[in-house]
Structures are given as structure tokens and as C-alpha cells.
């Protein structure tokens, strides 16, 4: 036993979980009436043809007359080879629409995640080190504010202030600018800021309370007695044990905001990312595209939990890899 085997086992489990999710999705899809078939029947009836025959033809055309296990195998092959069907709304393959949306989503979610993971624990530990001082109260106030205010509302307010009145940032998101350019940074600054304030609060509070426990631990006294400077003591002896419980909450926190808030933020700022795409697909009842976006989010969640599990065990040496 050891870390490599543990990681391998966890990866296998993640694959199993994704398979279960895909299977359930297939089951639901198979059980539900297919809108395309019904549409064909309605069409045939309106044109005076035989609805029965039209349904039969449509089912044959879409392969729905095949036995269930053949359709299931076909579905699985499609999902795992990224052949996710045709989007009527976008008039192109779903995978193509998704990858383009992902390109825009990544532009703000990567800096958002990195900033949250860097700033959150740092402010939390700083807050614990200066507990009950005005700095701690300020940090706590900012955390609660960011946590409490809805992201889309905060986004609208900031857009109004900086975009409309001060005209510092463009009101409409421009997809033509280069990814690594000053203009792009300027138009993404506010969305990233809004999302960071939303996600940082919970992480900051967790790390503050955890490190408050560790800063009074006996090993901090040992570190002090060894002649370790306060900065080093906090950086090594408090930060590291704090990351262990924190790592278990971070992924869930970020995913919740990723799925919920980023959609609204994209709508507010007009970013053609995954959130907007999901929203539009839902409104237009584009089944394939909705399926594609939800599967993508599901896979992100599975991979996120996988990373969380591995990070957790790597950070805390007391957790054994055996029998897991």
C-alpha cells in the first residue's frame, strides 16, 4: 500500500461514479418521451399524414427502435468519445459549443479560483493571528459582506458604478480582445472581484477558526521555544495543519458558486461562457445542449472531489491509505 495505489484506487472510483451518473442520465432520457418524435407525429397529423407512421420513421431515424442495451452502449460510446450530439440552438455539435463556452468561462474562473485559494487562507490565518483586533473585525466584516450579498446583485451595482457612471470598464463584454491583454483584464476584473468576494468569505472563516485552534497548540509553544520567528511559525506550523480541514470544504464551496453564481454573473456581464450557455439551452429546451452542460458540470464535480480526497490525504500524514 502507499500513496500511488491509493490514488489509483480513487481514480477508479471516480470513473465508476461518473459511469453511474451517465447511466442514470441515460435511464431518465430513455424513460422520458422524446420531443423530436412527438414533434414528428404532430407535424404528420397537421399535414394529413399518418402520425403512427411518422413516429415509426422518426424512431428508426434516431435509432430508438434498437434494443435498450444497444442504445445504452451507443450512448456510452458517445459520451466517452465526446460525441455529445447536435445542438439545434447553436446549430453545431454540442462539444464544439461547450469548448467555446469553456474558453470564456476559464478566463475568469481560473483567476477567481487561484485568488480565492491564495487570499482566503492567508486572510484567515492573519485574522486568527490578530484575533479580536480591528484588523480581524475588518476581515470578518468583509467576509460576511461578500458572503451575504448576492453575486449578481453586487455585479449589477459595480457594473453600474464602474461601467455606466465612471466608465472605467466596458459595459458589454467584448469577445474580440486577446486573452492575455490589458483590455481583457479590465473587463474581467469586476466579475472576478465579485466572485472572489463571494467565495472568500466561507474559506476565510474556516481557516480563521481552524488556525485559531492551532495557534494556541502546544507545538506552537515548541516552535517558539526553538527560536522560530512568528512569521515562520505561522507559515509552517499553523498554515499547514489548517489546510487539512480547509481542503475538505474548498471544492464544495467553489463548485456551488461555479454552478450557481457564475451563471448569473455571466448573464449580468454578458460573458458567453458555460453559465450563459446552460441558461440559453434551458430556455430553448435544447435537450442535447442541456445534457452536455450538466454532464460537464458533473464531471468537474467528480474530478474536484477526486482532487480533494487526494489533497486531504497528502496534507495530513496521520490519515492511512489502507483499506480505502
Partner 1 sequence: MSGTDRDPEVEAEADLDAETEATAEGGDEPLLAVEGLRTTFETDAGTLVAVDGIDFTVSEGETVCLVGESGSGKTVATESITRLVDSPPGHIEGRVRFRGHDLLAMDAEAIRSVRGPGIAHVFQNPQDALNHCYTVGWQIVEAIRVHEDVSEAAARARAVELLDRVGIANPSARFDDYPHEFSGGQKQRVMIAVALAGDPDLLVADEPTTALDVTVQARILELLSELQAEFGMGVLFVTHDLGVVAEIADRVVVMYAGKVMERGSVLDVFERPSHPYTRALLSCLPGRGNEVTGIEGSLPDPTAPPEGCRFAPRCEHAIGACRRGEQPPETELTEGHGVSCVFYRDGRDPSVVRGNGNGNGSGDGSDAETKRRDASRNGSRSADASTPGTGGAEGSDGG
114-120 long-range contacts, CB within 8 A, separation 24+: 115/192, 115/196, 116/195, 116/196, 116/199, 116/200, 116/203, 116/254, 117/203, 117/250, 119/196, 119/200, 120/199, 120/200, 120/203, 120/204, 120/207
> SS in 3 state form for 267-281?
HHHCCCCHHHHHHHH
Residues 137-176 within binding reach of partner 1 (CB under 8 A): none
Residues 239-268 within binding reach of partner 1 (CB under 8 A): 240-241, 244
Binding residue for partner 1 (CB under 8 A) from 183, 219, 285, 324? 219
Q: Is 69 in the site for partner 1 (CB under 8 A)?
A: no
| Region near partner 1 per CB under 8 A, out of 51-59, 155-163, 167-175, 233-241 | 233-241
Pick between residue 307 and residue 315 the one whose CB is nearest to partner 1. 315
Residues 288-317 within binding reach of partner 1 (CB under 8 A): 315-317
- What is the smallest separation between the CB atom of 205 and partner 1, expressed in angstroms? 22
d(CA 148, CA 145): 5
Binding residue for partner 1 (CB under 8 A) from 99, 174, 222, 285? 222
Pick between residue 166 and residue 225 the one whose CB is nearest to partner 1. 225
CA distances from 124 to 137, 178, 247, 254 (A): 11, 35, 14, 17
- What is the smallest separation between the CB atom of 133 and partner 1, expressed in angstroms? 11
* Per-residue binder mask for partner 1 (CB under 8 A), 177-216, x = binder: ----------------------------------------
Tally Cβ neighbours within 10 Å of residue 218.
Answer: 7
- What is the smallest separation between the CB atom of 216 and partner 1, expressed in angstroms? 8
- What is the smallest separation between the CB atom of 316 and partner 1, expressed in angstroms? 7
Pick between residue 78 and residue 230 the one whose CB is nearest to partner 1. 230
Pick between residue 221 and residue 324 the one whose CB is nearest to partner 1. 221
3-class secondary-structure state, position 92: strand
Closest CA to 85 of 34, 39, 13: 34
Does residue 152 contact residue 267 with C-beta atoms inside 8 Å? yes
Binding residue for partner 1 (CB under 8 A) from 106, 217, 255, 300? 217
d(CA 249, CA 244): 10
d(CA 23, CA 107): 32
Q: Which residues bind partner 1 (CB under 8 A)?
A: 217-219, 221-229, 232, 236-237, 240-241, 244, 315-318
Amino acid at each position: 500500500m502507499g500513496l500511488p495505489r491509493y490514488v489509483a484506487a480513487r481514480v477508479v472510483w471516480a470513473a465508476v461514479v461518473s459511469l453511474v451518473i451517465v447511466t442514470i442520465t441515460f435511464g431518465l432520457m430513455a424513460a422520458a418521451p422524446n420531443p423530436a418524435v412527438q414533434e414528428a407525429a404532430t407535424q404528420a397529423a397537421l399535414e394529413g399524414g399518418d402520425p403512427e407512421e411518422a413516429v415509426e420513421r422518426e424512431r428508426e431515424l434516431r435509432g430508438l427502435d434498437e434494443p435498450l442495451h444497444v442504445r445504452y452502449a451507443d450512448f456510452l460510446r458517445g459520451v466517452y468519445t465526446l460525441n455529445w450530439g447536435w445542438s439545434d440552438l447553436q446549430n453545431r455539435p454540442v462539444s464544439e459549443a461547450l469548448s467555446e463556452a469553456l474558453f470564456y468561462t476559464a478566463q475568469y474562473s481560473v483567476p477567481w479560483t487561484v485568488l480565492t485559494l491564495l487570499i482566503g487562507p492567508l486572510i484567515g490565518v492573519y485574522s486568527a493571528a490578530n484575533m479580536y483586533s480591528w484588523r480581524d473585525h475588518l476581515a470578518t466584516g468583509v467576509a460576511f459582506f461578500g458572503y451575504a450579498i448576492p453575486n449578481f446583485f453586487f455585479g449589477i451595482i459595480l457594473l453600474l458604478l464602474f461601467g455606466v457612471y465612471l466608465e472605467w470598464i466596458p459595459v458589454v463584454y467584448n469577445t474580440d480582445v486577446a486573452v492575455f491583454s490589458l483590455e481583457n483584464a479590465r473587463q474581467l476584473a469586476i466579475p472576478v472581484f465579485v466572485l472572489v468576494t463571494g467565495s472568500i468569505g466561507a474559506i476565510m472563516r474556516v481557516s480563521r477558526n481552524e488556525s485559531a485552534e492551532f495557534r494556541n497548540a502546544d507545538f506552537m509553544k515548541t516552535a517558539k521555544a526553538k527560536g522560530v520567528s512568528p512569521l515562520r511559525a505561522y507559515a509552517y506550523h499553523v498554515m499547514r495543519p489548517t489546510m487539512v480541514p480547509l481542503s475538505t470544504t474548498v471544492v464544495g464551496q467553489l463548485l456551488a458558486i461555479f454552478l450557481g453564481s457564475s451563471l448569473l454573473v455571466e448573464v449580468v456581464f454578458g460573458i458567453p461562457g458555460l453559465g450563459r450557455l446552460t441558461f440559453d439551452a434551458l430556455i430553448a429546451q435544447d435537450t442535447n445542449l442541456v445534457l452536455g452542460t450538466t454532464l460537464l458540470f458533473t464531471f468537474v464535480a467528480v474530478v474536484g472531489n477526486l482532487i480533494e480526497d487526494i489533497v486531504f490525504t497528502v496534507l495530513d500524514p496521520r490519515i492511512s491509505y489502507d483499506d480505502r
